[in-house]
């Protein structure tokens, strides 16, 4: 084939890209569809039939949400507000454009929701665009405490030219250091403070953080990307009611909808600026096809009265307890492990998060490595992050999660052959699907 596609990537990435490229070398155009179909079939077998997915930042859309997903709507451009679209003939979509933000705003307790961002990263960039100017400072959670790339200088804040400083963090409280916060804010003078982590076992003390942030004249953004499904169900915490001025989140993680990002707020003046940053700022035509499954997912969350969110939290506590019983070091043991659907395992004794993640993947158990607040500066991610939002949708019971914990221990603590465990994992999936 032609040039190496990404000579700037890491040696690991380049080796994998070269391996795939070699297998595709000389692929005739008439064989592309078949090749793509094969890749999709392998992907589906792994995640939808055989593997145990404990990756915390994913989900499966419900059958009803999937039934209204329509690629031909996604690929048709739609730009502007209902009644004044750049294109004519789109007025049937106006129902979706009015209904979806209304449902989402209602769920998260906001007056306004902007649903046109294609991802939470873009939603966060829109917030930075609306509420900061290049050269301003924002304060975010440290990466080892679950601060997301879209909060850090390598991500969206760097695009906006922001100075990014880490909030003081209290390892024992799993939260921002409330004692150090006022002095920190006075010294650093951030425009915006961002909380809401990619690993969140316990709620942030939003009211206390919000009071200090308000005293410092800054705005508080709560990024509920991972927690959105719980927050929307009225579980875990209600960031806007507790004092955050802006809420952003991904719609495809615990929320369980299509990919996308949301920005919500109660403040009309902020809402206008945030919305303008999304359109016409960062989006022209957007994927209106997302709105149908998003609306259906929101309605399902309303209708189930919190049952799914409660099941996710109960499953996380059961999984955490089972992992501890197997001999893993599970975070938050003295506080009941977790108040969310997340569980964290300290994998330092297992060779670190990445190595443990790789061995589990060979065994058909999928999750991710993550930094833990107590790791040393420069130490590679020492944790494993697990989430129960997908396995609950797949029908796993707390007993099934005990089996899952045992399979994980077989691989990581008892040296079992990953291929054997992989068969057992597929067997468990089959058994659950057949119930
Ligand atoms: C996953 C995540 C995001 C990014 O969401 P995308 O929709 O994938 O852009 C943003 N913030 C936090 C805290 C996340 O965990």
Distance 370 CA to ligand 1 centre (A): 14
Look at residues 382, 402, 392 and name the one whose alpha carbon lies nearest to residue 331.
382
Residue among 56, 57, 117, 120 to mutate when testing ligand 1 (max atoms within 8 A of CB) = 120
Bridge partners of 387, per DSSP, are 342
Q: Where exactly does CATH 3.40.640.10 map onto the chain?
A: 63-303
**Distance between CA 387 and CA 126 in Å, rounded?**
28
Q: Average model confidence (pLDDT) for the chain?
A: 97
- Would you tell me how many other CB atoms lie within 10 Å of the CB of residue 290? 23
pLDDT for position 2: 64
Q: Does the Cβ of 152 fall within 6 Å of ligand 1?
A: no
Q: Does the Cβ of 254 fall within 6 Å of ligand 1?
A: no
Q: Does the Cβ of 248 fall within 6 Å of ligand 1?
A: no
Distance 415 CA to ligand 1 centre (A): 34
Q: Does the Cβ of 205 fall within 6 Å of ligand 1?
A: no
Task: Tell me which fold the domain 63-303 belongs to.
Answer: 3.40.640
Q: Does the Cβ of 116 fall within 6 Å of ligand 1?
A: no
Q: Which atom of ligand 1 is nearest to the CA of 252?
A: 7
- Angle, CA 268 vertex, CA 266 and CA 273 arms, to 5°: 110
pLDDT for position 1: 47
Long-range contacts of 298-304 (CB under 8 A, 24+ apart): 298/100, 298/103, 298/104, 298/107, 298/232, 298/257, 299/103, 300/62, 300/64, 300/65, 300/256, 301/107, 301/229, 301/232, 301/233, 301/255, 301/256, 302/103, 302/106, 302/107, 304/233
CA 156 to chain centre: 16
Cβ contact 179:212 at 8 Å: no
Class of domain 306-433 (CATH, top level) = alpha beta
- Percentage of the chain exceeding pLDDT 70: 100
**Distance between CA 194 and CA 245 in Å, rounded?**
11
Look at residues 364, 366, 362 and name the one whose alpha carbon lies nearest to residue 384.
366
Distance 252 CA to ligand 1 centre (A): 10
Q: Does the Cβ of 196 fall within 6 Å of ligand 1?
A: yes
Q: Does the Cβ of 364 fall within 6 Å of ligand 1?
A: no
Strand pairing class (112-114; 137-140): unpaired
Q: Does the Cβ of 368 fall within 6 Å of ligand 1?
A: no
pLDDT, tens digit, 9 for 90 and up, residues 22-61: 999 999 999 999 999 999 999 999 999 999 999 999 999 9
**Distance between CA 331 and CA 370 in Å, rounded?**
12
Q: Does the Cβ of 148 fall within 6 Å of ligand 1?
A: yes
pLDDT, tens digit, 9 for 90 and up, residues 190-213: 999 999 999 999 999 999 999 999
Q: Which atom of ligand 1 is nearest to the CA of 261?
A: 7
Q: Does the Cβ of 388 fall within 6 Å of ligand 1?
A: no
Q: Does the Cβ of 143 fall within 6 Å of ligand 1?
A: no
pLDDT for position 4: 86
Q: Does the Cβ of 338 fall within 6 Å of ligand 1?
A: no
Whether the predicted pLDDT of 94 surpasses 90: yes
pLDDT for position 403: 98
pLDDT, tens digit, 9 for 90 and up, residues 160-200: 999 999 999 999 999 999 999 999 999 999 999 999 999 99
Residue 262 has φ and ψ, to the nearest 5°, of -125, 145
Whether the predicted pLDDT of 5 surpasses 90: no
pLDDT, tens digit, 9 for 90 and up, residues 232-289: 999 999 999 999 999 999 999 999 999 999 999 999 999 999 999 999 999 999 999 9
pLDDT for position 69: 97
Q: Where exactly does CATH 3.90.1150.10 map onto the chain?
A: 306-433
pLDDT, tens digit, 9 for 90 and up, residues 64-88: 999 999 999 999 999 999 999 999 9
Residue among 195, 196, 223 to mutate when testing ligand 1 (max atoms within 8 A of CB) = 223
pLDDT, tens digit, 9 for 90 and up, residues 114-128: 999 999 999 999 999
**Distance between CA 249 and CA 51 in Å, rounded?**
27
**Distance between CA 90 and CA 83 in Å, rounded?**
9
Look at residues 195, 125, 191 and name the one whose alpha carbon lies nearest to residue 160.
125
Distance 122 CA to ligand 1 centre (A): 9
Q: Which atom of ligand 1 is nearest to the CA of 123?
A: 9
Distance 149 CA to ligand 1 centre (A): 8
pLDDT, tens digit, 9 for 90 and up, residues 386-431: 999 999 999 999 999 999 999 999 999 999 999 999 999 999 999 9
Q: What is the mean pLDDT of residues 286-297?
A: 97
């Amino acid at each position: 084939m032609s040039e190496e596609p990404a000579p700037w990537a890491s040696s690991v990435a380049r080796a994998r890209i070269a391996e795939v490229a070699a297998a595709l070398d000389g692929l005739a155009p008439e064989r592309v569809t078949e090749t793509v179909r094969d890749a999709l079939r392998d992907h589906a077998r792994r995640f939808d039939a055989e593997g145990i997915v404990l990756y915390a930042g994913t989900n499966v859309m419900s059958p009803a949400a999937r039934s209204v997903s329509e690629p031909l709507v996604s690929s048709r451009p739609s730009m502007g507000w209902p009644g004044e679209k750049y294109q004519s003939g789109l007025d049937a979509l106006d129902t979706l454009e009015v209904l979806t933000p209304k449902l989402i705003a209602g769920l998260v307790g906001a007056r306004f929701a902007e649903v046109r961002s294609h991802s939470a990263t873009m939603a966060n960039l829109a917030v930075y665009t609306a509420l900061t100017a290049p050269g301003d400072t924002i304060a975010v959670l440290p990466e080892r405490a679950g601060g997301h790339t879209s909060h850090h200088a390598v991500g969206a804040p760097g695009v906006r030219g922001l100075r990014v400083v880490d909030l003081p963090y209290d390892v024992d409280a799993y939260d921002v250091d409330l004692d150090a916060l006022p002095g920190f804010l006075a010294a650093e003078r951030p425009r915006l403070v961002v909380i809401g982590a990619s690993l969140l076992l316990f709620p942030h003390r939003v009211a206390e953080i919000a009071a200090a942030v308000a005293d410092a004249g800054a705005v508080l953004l709560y990024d509920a990307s991972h927690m959105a499904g719980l927050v929307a169900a009225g579980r875990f915490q209600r960031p806007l009611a507790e004092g955050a001025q802006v809420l952003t989140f991904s719609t495809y993680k615990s929320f369980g909808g299509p990919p996308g990002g949301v920005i919500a707020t109660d403040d009309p003046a902020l809402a206008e600026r945030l919305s303008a940053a999304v359109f016409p700022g960062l989006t022209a035509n957007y994927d209106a096809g997302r709105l149908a499954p998003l609306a259906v997912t929101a309605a399902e969350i309303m209708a189930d009265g919190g049952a799914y969110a409660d099941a996710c939290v109960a499953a996380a506590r059961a999984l955490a307890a089972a992992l501890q019983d197997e001999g893993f070091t599970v975070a938050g043991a003295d506080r009941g492990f977790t108040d969310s659907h997340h569980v964290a395992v300290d994998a330092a004794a297992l060779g670190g998060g990445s190595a443990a993640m790789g061995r589990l993947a060979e065994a058909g158990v999928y999750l991710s490595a993550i930094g833990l607040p107590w790791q040393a500066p420069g130490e590679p991610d020492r944790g494993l992050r697990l989430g129960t939002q997908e396995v609950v949708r797949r029908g796993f019971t707390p007993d099934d999660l005990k089996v899952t914990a045992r399979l994980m221990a077989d691989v990581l603590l008892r040296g079992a052959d990953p291929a054997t465990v992989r068969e057992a994992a597929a067997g468990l999936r089959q058994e659950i699907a057949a119930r």
